[in-house]
Amino acid sequence: MHGSVDGVAQADLAHNAAQLRAEVKKLSFYYGTSQALKSVDLPIVDRQVTALIGASGCGKSTLLRCFNRMHDLYVGNRYEGSITLYPENLDIVGPGVDPMLVRLRIGMVFQKPNPFPKSIFDNVASGLYIRGVKTRAIVEQRVEQSLRQAALWEEVKDRLHQSAYGLSGGQQQRLCIARALAPNPGLILFDEPTSALDPIATAKIEELVDQLRLNYTIVIVTHNMQQAGRISNFTAFMHLGQMLEYAPTKQFFTAPEHPKTQEYITGRFG
């Protein structure tokens, strides 16, 4: 990897070494015979927001899907390298790891809100049920807490048992965030969470990410470089399946080192 990972940010990272929540090391991924990720390295600093940017098709979603072993659902897909979760020191793409357990530790929020065809309450509670949490009072408490953290509680507290499909797009996305938060994941991954939303709903999600940073570690894929600049602490740039540059966000946008990064952020491609 070029750029700041070898320079200034390396000093920061050494300083923060004990504070990594996860670390991607030499991760390659193959859809059958087609290689989509090429020896990707990415440190993920605890309780910070890491933005992942790059042109369409460069492998951002593929990288996120490695984190919750979603690729395992298809035969022929293959991982090389590691994604280590700290402090557990668990390699989540390692062979001995149960993908179901991984999915409970890693929250995912997608581009299009995808609530289940269930009530608002049951959407948020679903991860708790999978975890075997059955005590009603605990489930209710955790549902309320997650909806509050997702800044949705006030809007839905009187209709918890109505269908999630009755919510607006922005509300559905905050519901999906509440659903991701409920099992108390170590890491939350957002894949272009605002690209299907209007500016007001987008601003709400951005505010929310800013709040969540206090308690959660976040990786967010975004097409929108202004958004990356506004909400992230670190920015990583991918190009054709490779991680080309990683740096603290301010430095990334003011002094990008790789020529491809410069081209991308000045809008000359992508």
Ligand X SMILES: Nc1ncnc2c1ncn2[C@@H]1O[C@H](COP(=O)(O)OP(=O)(O)O)[C@@H](O)[C@H]1O
Question: What does the binding site for Mg ion look like in residue numbers (CB under 5 A)?
Answer: 61
Q: Closest CB to ligand X among 50 and 171? A: 50
In contact, 122 and 146? CB cutoff 8 Å = no
**90's tokens:** 């668990």
Residue 217's binding partner among Mg ion, ligand X, none (Cβ under 5 to 8 angstroms by kind) is: none
Q: Closest CB to ligand X among 70 and 152? A: 70
The DSSP bridge pattern shows strands 49-53 and 78-85 to be: unpaired
Q: Closest CB to ligand X among 57 and 259? A: 57
In the complex, least distance from residue 191 CB atom to Mg ion, rounded to whole angstroms: 6
In contact, 144 and 121? CB cutoff 8 Å = no
Q: Closest CB to Mg ion among 9 and 58? A: 58
Distances (CA, A) of 229 to 52, 185, 253: 11, 25, 8
- Separation of alpha carbons 270 and 263, rounded Å: 9
Residue 57's binding partner among Mg ion, ligand X, none (Cβ under 5 to 8 angstroms by kind) is: ligand X
In the complex, least distance from residue 235 CB atom to ligand X, rounded to whole angstroms: 15
In the complex, least distance from residue 34 CB atom to ligand X, rounded to whole angstroms: 6
Helix (H) or strand (E) holding 76: none
In the complex, least distance from residue 167 CB atom to Mg ion, rounded to whole angstroms: 24
Going by C-alpha positions, the residue among 175, 180, 263, 172 that lies closest to residue 220 is: 180
In the complex, least distance from residue 111 CB atom to ligand X, rounded to whole angstroms: 9
Q: Closest CB to Mg ion among 61 and 251? A: 61
Q: Closest CB to ligand X among 60 and 103? A: 60
At how many degrees (to 10) do helices 136-149 and 120-130 cross? 120
In contact, 68 and 106? CB cutoff 8 Å = yes
Residue with the shortest CB distance to Mg ion: 61
- Separation of alpha carbons 105 and 148, rounded Å: 20
In contact, 186 and 104? CB cutoff 8 Å = no
> Given the rule CB under 6 A, which residues bind ligand X?
31, 34, 36, 54, 56-62
Residue 36's binding partner among ligand X, Mg ion, none (Cβ under 5 to 8 angstroms by kind) is: ligand X
In the complex, least distance from residue 62 CB atom to ligand X, rounded to whole angstroms: 3
Residue 265's binding partner among ligand X, Mg ion, none (Cβ under 5 to 8 angstroms by kind) is: none
